[in-house]
Chains A and B, each alone.
Chain A
Amino acid sequence: MNIRTLSLIILGIALVLVPFVLKGYLVFQATTIVIYAIAIMGLNILTGLNGQIALGHGAFFAMGAYLMAITLNVWELPFYVGFPIAGVACFVFGFLFGFPALRLEGVYLALATFTLAVAVPPVLKLSFLEPVTGGVMGTLVPAPTTPFGLPLGQDQWMYLLTLLFLFLMYGMAQALKSSRSGRAMMAIRDNPIAARAMGINVALYKTLAFGLSALYAGIAGCLSALVIQFISADSFTFFLSVYLIVGLVVGGAAWFPGALIGGAYIVLVPNLVETFSPPLAGSFYGLLLMVMMLIIPKGASGLIEKFFPRRPSASDTSRPAPREDGGDGPVTIGRPGR
């Protein structure tokens, strides 16, 4: 076991212990951090693995939150049914939105997705949707009670539920990264023309990455509805999408544990700068972000890479044994190595 795996396991244990060490509002804050981390991991699939930039994931977050509220309030189904409903709906919506995105790159794609983030909140406020969405006033979301009579407080239970989703979705993102599909996404990021020549279906993997990142944002939205127990269109402004991008940049691209650092940044730093100087909080926030970008342009993942350079990982041991039949030695051209 290498040092990276070990530190991830320790981090995982520490995360489980959080609600038993911290109290009250701090547990709520920790829950919010984990929720954002899930959404940021999704963005990282899109941006980190696939190289697409999207500014509209607040819309998918909102969609997840509203679908959870509708599941509970309108359809009167148990909360755990809300996750698959929202997950599938956001995936399909994101997948379909990915098609027009195929024709756009870089800033143009960012702008197109930006329209999504701007367009969704007013739609949620429409009066004829009021029975479903609660309209301008928003709607209350009943919190699920602690199951199996576990001796947990409401906030502890919600934190652990959120953390369970973080672990599951981290595992899936990590599995994706080292799989055939994940490599296809990274190939498209690094060199779309070569990826095509390798027989990779570029359109398919780009839209899949879009759908997946929407699914992650949607699940985060579901959890946020349950934790805050209230949703309104004003909770999902365009700024939510921007904060998710900030969290992504701070955490670093294509390194999923960075999402937690990104989540912590977007939850904690606004409060921190508020204590410095309330009227200038926004300015301090911006200044801090600029300094961060100067010191660690690659985000937290760059910092980790610097101090714990990646050694040949455990996957080396999976290397097939050399062939017994020998054959000719390898042909070498030029100097081996660098």
Chain B
Amino acid sequence: MASTASGATESRTPLLSIKNLCIRFGGVLALDNVNLDISPGRIVGLIGPNGAGKTTMFNCISRLYQPTSGRIEFAGEDLTTSTPQRIARLGIGRTFQNVASFDELSVLDNVRIGAHTRSTGNIVSDMLSLPNARRQERSIDETAYKFIDYLGLADVAHSTISSLSLGTRKRVEIARALAMSPRLLMLDEPAGGLTHSEVAELGRLFVKIRDDWQITILLVEHHMQLVMSVSDEVTVLNFGKNLAHGTPSQIRSNPDVIHAYLGRS
């Protein structure tokens, strides 16, 4: 199942291209000349020991951090000078490591907020409920319900986030990211805190998302079994540097990777 999109996409220009990316926090070089190309339609796993710079890289791509040097190109556009709004509009959606929901709001509202950049409007027509605002609201609702159904959240659509379990919140976050109609979906440790069977279902979901919506996925995950089973390619970071890149089986047998993870010489 992991190889459905390979071959055909191999020669295409990358959707996301990271070149010599560096970011420095005080004296720490958190990312040191990192390179990564992601072709459209692939599921790419990003792994590495704790502190390798995986989440830092996510935050550079979604412009929560400003890289010190290097380039991030998405569909040919340089992102290093773009605003976070522009990133969202270009089609990069993400979830967060420790779940960043809008806790006081309902599941429905959370997913509606995901559709924010896919809609336009202004505060005056919103406050006066003008026809264009109501039309906009209907199309936002349509998008939101589509992804609420897709993730099986219909039963809890009106529940407040703070009343939901971690597994459900993670699904809400994925639904919210899908409502952004992204071309690239970045998932930061989606399996963290989930049970064994939940993780297996999550893996099937990622492949389904890629196949149903042609969304490219960049997956940061510690759960090796999940990464290895769903990824078309895996890239390994260690101490902020590229360590290896290849298919899951290549990575599994790579001596450098084994060394980094197990610390044997």
Question: Which residues of the partner chain A approach B122 to less than 8 Å between Cβ atoms?
Answer: 181
A333 near B194 with CB under 8 A, answer yes
Q: Is the CB of A186 within 8 A of B112?
A: no
Cβ-defined contact, B156 with A183, below 8 A: no
Q: For B136, give its contact among A172, A180, A208, A331 (CB under 8 Å).
A: A180
CB contact under 8 A between A191 and B102, given known A312-B158, A334-B168: yes
Contact B167 A172 (CB under 8 A): no
Residues of chain B in range 124-161 having any CB-CB distance to chain A below 8 Å: 126-129, 133, 136-138, 140-142, 145, 149-156, 158-159
Instruction: Mark the stretch among B36-44, B87-95, B215-223, B251-259 that contacts chain A.
Output: B87-95
A198: interface (CB < 8 Å): yes
A82 part of interface (Cβ distance < 8 Å) = no
Residues of B within 8 Å of A336, CB to CB, are 152, 155-156, 168
Q: Which residue of A is nearest B198, CB measured?
A: A334
- Tell me the bound Cα distance from A331 to B201 in angstroms: 8
Q: Does B241 contact A (CB under 8 A)?
A: no
Q: Are A320 and B142 in contact (CB under 8 A)?
A: yes
Report yes or no: B85 in contact with A191, Cβ–Cβ below 8 A.
no
Question: B121 contacts which of A181, A193, A316, A335 (Cβ < 8 Å)?
Answer: A181
Given contacts A183-B112, A196-B84, A199-B116, contact A175 B128 (CB under 8 A): yes
For residue A60, give the distance in angstroms from its CB to the closest CB of chain B.
18
**Max chain A CB contacts within 10 Å: which of B85, B89, B167?**
B85
Instruction: State A246–B100 Cα separation when bound (angstroms).
Output: 31
Decide: A180 and B104 in contact? CB cutoff 8 A: no
Q: How distant is A168 from chain B, measured CB to nearest CB, in Å?
A: 10
Residue pair B154, A330 in contact (C-beta under 8 Å):
yes
Smallest Cβ-Cβ distance to B164: which chain A residue: A338
* 4 further contact pairs, Cβ within 8 A, besides A180-B116, A194-B96: A180-B112, A180-B140, A197-B94, A336-B155
Q: List 5 A-B contacts (CB under 8 A).
A: A172-B127, A179-B121, A180-B112, A198-B88, A212-B123
B interface with A by C-beta (< 8 Å): 62, 64, 84-85, 87-89, 94, 96, 100-105, 109, 112-114, 116-117, 119, 121-123, 126-129, 133, 136-138, 140-142, 145, 149-156, 158-159, 163-165, 167-168, 170-171, 176, 180, 194-195, 198, 201-202, 204-205, 208
